[in-house]
Structure 1
Amino acid sequence: MPSQDPRIDAYIAGAAPFAQPILGKLRAIVHEACPGAEETIKWSMPCFMHAGGILCSMAAFKQHVSFGFWKHALVMGEGVERDGMGSFGRMASVKDLPAKKELLALIGKAMALNEQGVKTPGARKATSPRPPPAAPDDLAAALRKNKAAAATFKAFPPGQQREYIDWLVGAKREDTRAKRLAQAVEWLAEGKRRNWKYENC
């Protein structure tokens, strides 16, 4: 019987009813593939550790569950884009899970990478710097009203500015965009990057 972290028991129990069986099955498959996997909580979501590094993680949201490998590009192969934190898109039911045989094999691949001490590849440096992105009108207007947020945004390098802009313009509904705009200004006023929650592993 694998060692289980009671915090993950609580996380699964507290998830939406649709998410509980997905999380439970993912957890069981991880332990079947990697009996020695250690459970923990990082960034408020369940993570599985192996050979001194993060193997994979899972998270429940309002309408979907994500499951992703820490070394996504190396495990899934080039050209397979990550969907947020997930390596398999947004799963809303157990039927959305990849085939068990496939998942076991991929977890085995991730285990081998950790055992070999392979590091996550760094981002490739562009040959020439991209120009700073232009803030959309609603963000520019909001920044004019908040000096602290504007100062943070201006001080960020283009890549970090672009993370906020892409997040904002990626909203499909007006109310979602409005919520993201308010959140962005709040985080910027506090000097935070867009993905500050997932930093400092």
Structure 2
Amino acid sequence: MKEATRGKAEQSGAKNPWIKNEQWTEEIGLLREIVQKTELVETTKWGGEVYTINNKNVLGIGGFKNYFTLWFWNGVFLKDEAKVLVNANEGVTKALRQWRFTSATEIDEKLILRYINEAIANEKAGLAIKPEKKEALPCAFFQAALDKNKTLKTAFEKFTPGKQKEFWEYMATAKQEKTKVTRLEKITPMIMEGRGLNDQYRK
């Protein structure tokens, strides 16, 4: 391993929160050298080492107590013919996949490049898991107010579904009756004027 690369690996490891110790300095350096043979662009996000294409996250590098790893942001779409990928947080993580290594001898450059190039192709093709649309929280108090005031209801229905959802959640999260009343008094003029609940933060 070149001295310059080793020095960079040690420097990144000191700052990268995904590298928990200096146990895998040289091994991570080897992974970095492989990744740098592709068209991916190295950057830093969330304090960690991330590689992107067209400003889209493709993979990251990390080191932990028992293994060092490549993170594939949309690894769920990789064919994984070698069966090396794992879901680091089953039931929570949907797209992210890890390729874990416990020794430099497990680093197969040709195989790794095959996975990385497939990940790049998938990103260019736009493969990604779309976030699930959550239904707006119901609020009987707010619904009653809309049903009672037809003018208010008509004004409310002019908002986009996203802005309507913000109003619903704002009302639904009020636990006490007096809080619901106070919130309704606040948003009624906003609705009548066509102002979204969070419009002031979108400027």
TM-score normalised over the length of structure 2: 0.47
Question: Bigger radius of gyration, 1 or 2?
Answer: 2
